Chain A
């Protein structure tokens, strides 16, 4: 598939790589025309992504432009790649639109747009390559762009950037080892493998696990997630919406699906499936528990960005078609609603200049559209029907239940998934309340609705949440998810989205009526009386997080939470500690020992020469004595 521009024929898949880079670079260099160049770049990339997507619906695009050393630099685009490519371009465009205003006149704005373009190009590269080493190249480029984009922060974000690059870099090296093992043992590492490799023998399993680590580290599963909450404190909302919330999920889960079902065949290995499901369940529970106690909007959302990965990994780990489709669908849904949540929260931050939940509240009347987008996305993430998040979770549950035929561990996974869902809902009630309902602090009285350019992306994403929920089967599942997977999917379970939608809409109308007549918007005020002292209303304000402070104080959990907040579960800290511990042994023991040996040799030589110089006294008698002694020895030797 090619297209002719100015008489030069371009293959269309080069364009999705080159256009963002070229336009981004021109935009960076010619600052005056930056928006124009970027707009051109993102729109054209979107256009070509759509073209590729349409083409992949009917067939596979593949090409081998170069071969070096047994490595095929090969492109391979099937419908899975096509739909990920499409959403890469959509998210990049929306986030760019958003940060036109949100990053305006902030330090690092110019280079920020370049990084968005480069990240898009690298993510596209990951998706369209048909060879694992070729894929690793783009995976590596993402490390550079991640470092760069994280360095553009609200505050000094160098530590978060360092942490992110360390974690992602280490997982990259592990993934590299896995790919190299495959390359050496199998020889052919083209995607998809034909026939699929069996997960038998230690080599194949090691290789699979190593590549899987790379994939889930990118997606942000426990324990390789810790850079995400760290970054949430210091980088702009658009970065969070773009990288950890959407693009990283898309390509991380893409790689997981690719290696699990196109390259290897994980369905044959129950142990690996259970391993994946355990990672998924732990991720769901641990991250959502940490989210409950956060007092800062971005950080809270970032823990959910981790927690939701658990559903995707869980679904993909089931090895049951409906579960895999659910995991993939959840990835798509998560990218949409989490990007929407971050962007909406970013709008609040843009106007209110804080994301501290204790200092926010009552913005519902001031920012109604943002409230709408946030609420829709919050319902979607909590799995409220008929929004998209519900459907994908439902499919994951189906997959887990069907997994019961394989292993009787399934109730644990199911309970973890459902419990996680409940906690998610609870923490979203908390954050919605803290941001939009309740009492408004005095300093927020001048807050207005956010800018047009920032509203549009969030609104579009919120609408997408609704559309993907209400028309779940007829739109996303039929056109995006099912064609992407290499097996037919039998929908099991009874679920009629139409009926459910009607029921929910009726419910919502009733709720709205209650809401309008009720006092949700106007908190009830009563005089505070403490021992005769009259308290200022502001001081007596009940903030959102206070409602949930009791979670903190349950004795058993308290210690765990304290540990968690102090970084005791942080992979980065363990990695650093282990590395430093080994380093101490290397430097202070081994290196010093070697140095000591050399010094000892030096000392021996010195002492020997001192002894020899001692013999040279300079007195004639001594030398005469030596001569006689020598003569006697020679004589004895001659005689013998």
Chain B
């Protein structure tokens, strides 16, 4: 029933490479920013656990094994969200844990039902799906990937997590849900039933509502949280509408969003450290003090919005082609969500970097700046040399 059933395909390697890279960047950023007395030993262990569980989910093909990694990830998120041990962060950690754990318990029921039907946990041998089991599993997926309506844990979690781990959350842990969705549902016979269009509608709602909520957010981290809700909605939309464009677009979206959101989270962390504030209206004129941060974040935001020299363009294009091929409504919804993305991002950027500088600004930490710059540069280079990742993903039918 359970063994160490690992399977290496191109998608798995692609995702593992991305996760390990984001983990590495997170680690370097942590070295510079996680200072003072604290639970450093625990912190680095949890960082490794998040990365490891991400790689585990990407590479295993046994549902039970995936579930174990899933729970390891939940545990690690719980510990890191509560890292600062203050009142709010403990509460946020508890919310995070309860929502994720409860949803995972429901998911387990679904997994067992699948096992009863198919007699195996092996992803490749599961042929019989039923809607009830799928719905139970979907609950776990939605909770992990913060799709509406199970997104409530993300805002408090982002508000209290150390910025270094925030990048890992956005780039690794929250992708586990959509990866399971892709592995379990998108490639099988089950596709093109009503279940998929429901998921696509949920994903679209997540895109649009998340984008709208981000437009009104004045707290930096709340904005990032809603932005993540919106962006992961795009990934799930790509996987749910299916087709080669939707799926490859979704994979590229994981890449683009992981790199960009990690970079933005580190940038926000730096800005918070330098100004001591996290209110968008209380910060301004950051461009003068730190042009490198300004340019890097402009590129990262370009990647999130989806303008060309950045890799985010290709992912958005792929998802939108997939959406339009499936149904025109998905395409129109995706464009509305994209417009929201543009609006809140440009607002975010203008308020942070232009206008009057308010209050005293400490110098930024160079290590952090370097990490952000590297992430921006890689997003740019991948956008220009997009042929390589796409070719890697599609060659040989996804097999090595």
Q: Which residues of A contact B (CB under 8 A)?
A: 66, 68-69, 133, 136-141, 143-144, 147, 156, 158-159, 162, 165-166, 169-170, 172-174, 176-177, 180-181, 183-184, 575-576, 579-580, 582-588, 590-591, 594-595, 597-598
Tell me which residues from 217 to 232 in chain B have a Cβ below 8 Å from any Cβ of chain A.
Answer: 217
Query: How distant is the Cα of A158 from the Cα of B305 in the complex, in angstroms?
Result: 18
Q: Are B386 and A68 in touch, CB under 8 angstroms?
A: yes
For A133, what are the chain B residues with a Cβ–Cβ distance below 8 Å?
A: 317
Is there an interface contact between A582 and B324, defined as CB atoms closer than 8 Å? no
Instruction: Given A141-B308, A177-B331, A584-B216, decide whether A165 and B324 contact each other with a Cβ distance below 8 A.
Output: no
**A184 near B332: Cβ-Cβ < 8 Å:** no
Q: Select one of B216, B343, B387 contacting A68, CB under 8 A.
A: B387
CA distance A141 to B209 in the complex (A): 28
Query: Contacts A162-B346, A170-B342, A173-B342 given: A587-B390 contact, CB under 8 Å?
Result: no
A140-B245 contact, Cβ under 8 Å, with A158-B350, A580-B215, A582-B212: no
B361 CB → nearest A CB, Å: 18
A-B contact pairs, 23 of them (CB 8 A): A68-B386, A69-B248, A141-B307, A144-B298, A144-B307, A147-B298, A158-B353, A162-B350, A165-B346, A169-B346, A170-B339, A173-B339, A177-B324, A180-B331, A580-B215, A582-B212, A584-B216, A585-B212, A586-B213, A587-B213, A587-B216, A591-B213, A597-B149
| Complex contact A587–B212 (CB within 8 A) | yes
Determine if B346 and A580 form an interchain contact, defined as CB atoms under 8 angstroms apart: no
Question: How far does the alpha carbon of A68 sit from the alpha carbon of B248 in the complex, in Å?
Answer: 12
A580 to B213, CA, bound (A): 9
The 5 closest A-B pairs by CB, nearest first: A140-B308, A158-B354, A586-B212, A583-B212, A587-B213
Contacts of B245 in A (CB 8 A): 69
Centre residue among A158, A180, A582, A597 by max chain B CB count within 10 A: A180
Q: How far is the CA of A595 from the CA of B209 in the complex (A)?
A: 14
A129 CB to nearest chain B CB (Å): 12
Given contacts A136-B308, A174-B335, A586-B209, list 11 more A-B pairs with CB under 8 A.
Answer: A68-B390, A69-B244, A69-B248, A158-B355, A165-B346, A173-B342, A176-B320, A184-B324, A587-B212, A594-B152, A597-B149
Select B321's contact among A68, A141, A183, A586, beta carbons within 8 Å: A183
Binary interface profile of B, 333-369, with partner A (CB < 8 Å = 1, else 0)? Answer: 0010011101100110010011100000000000000
Task: Give chain B residues whose Cβ lies under 8 Å from the Cβ of A580.
Answer: 215-216
B148 touches A594 (CB 8 A): yes
CB distance from B252 to the nearest CB of A (A): 11
A66-B387, A582-B212 as given contacts; A184 in contact with B339, CB under 8 Å: no
Q: Chain B residues near A140 (CB, 8 Å)?
A: 307-309, 313
User: Does more than half of chain A's interface fall in helix, strand or loop, or is it mixed?
Assistant: helix
Partner among B317, B387, B391 whose Cβ is within 8 Å of the Cβ of A180: B317
Chain B residues proximal to chain A, CB less than 8 Å: 148-149, 151-152, 208-209, 212-213, 215-217, 244-245, 248, 298, 302, 305, 307-309, 313, 317, 320-321, 324-325, 328, 331-332, 335, 338-340, 342-343, 346-347, 350, 353-355, 386-387, 390-391, 394
Q: By CB atoms of chain B within 10 A, which of A174, A590, A597 has the most? A: A590
Residues of chain B with a CB closer than 8 A to A590's CB: 209
> How far, in Å, is B335 (CB) from chain A's closest CB?
5
**Across the interface, do A169 and B305 meet the contact criterion of CB distance under 8 Å?**
yes
Q: Which residues of A contact B216 (CB under 8 A)?
A: 580, 583-584, 587-588
List of A residues within 8 angstroms of B346 by Cβ: 162, 165-166, 169
Q: B-side binding surface: helix, strand, loop or mixed?
A: helix
User: In whole angstroms, how far apart are the Cα atoms of A156 and B248 in the complex?
Assistant: 42
| Cα–Cα distance between A588 and B209 once the two chains are bound (Å) | 11
**Given known A-B contacts A133-B317, A584-B216, A169 and B324 have beta carbons under 8 A apart:** no
CB neighbours of A594 from chain B (8 A)? 148-149, 151-152
Minimum CB distance partner of B210 in chain A: A586
Contact of B343 among A172, A176, A576 (CB under 8 A): A576
| Interface core residue of B212, B355, B390 (most chain A CB under 10 Å) | B212
Residues of B contacting A162 with CB < 8 Å?
346-347, 350
Q: Which residues of B contact A166 (CB under 8 A)?
A: 342-343, 346
Which of A144, A177, A576 sits near B332, CB closer than 8 Å?
Answer: A177
Q: Which residues of B contact A68 (CB under 8 A)?
A: 386-387, 390-391
B339 touches A579 (CB 8 A): yes
| Cβ distance B302 to chain A, nearest Cβ, rounded Å | 6
Q: Please, how many angstroms separate the alpha-carbon atoms of A210 and B212 in the complex? A: 23
A10–B400 CA distance with the chains assembled, in angstroms = 35
Which A residue sits closest to B350, measured CB to CB?
A162
Tell me, rounded to whole Å, the shortest Cβ–Cβ distance linking A118 to chain B: 10
Tell me if B307 and A143 are in contact (CB < 8 A).
yes
Looking at the complex, which one of B151, B213, B320, B331 makes contact with A583 (CB distance below 8 Å)? Answer: B213
Contact A173/B209 with A158-B350, A184-B321 known, Cβ cut-off 8 Å: no
Query: Do B335 and A177 touch (CB < 8 A)?
Result: yes
CA distance A184 to B347 in the complex (A): 33
A140 to B217, CA, bound (A): 27
Chain B, residue nearest A177 (CB): B335
> A141 to B309, Cβ gap below 8 A?
yes
A580 to B209 Cα, complex, angstroms: 12
Q: A141 CA to B308 CA in the complex, in Å?
A: 6
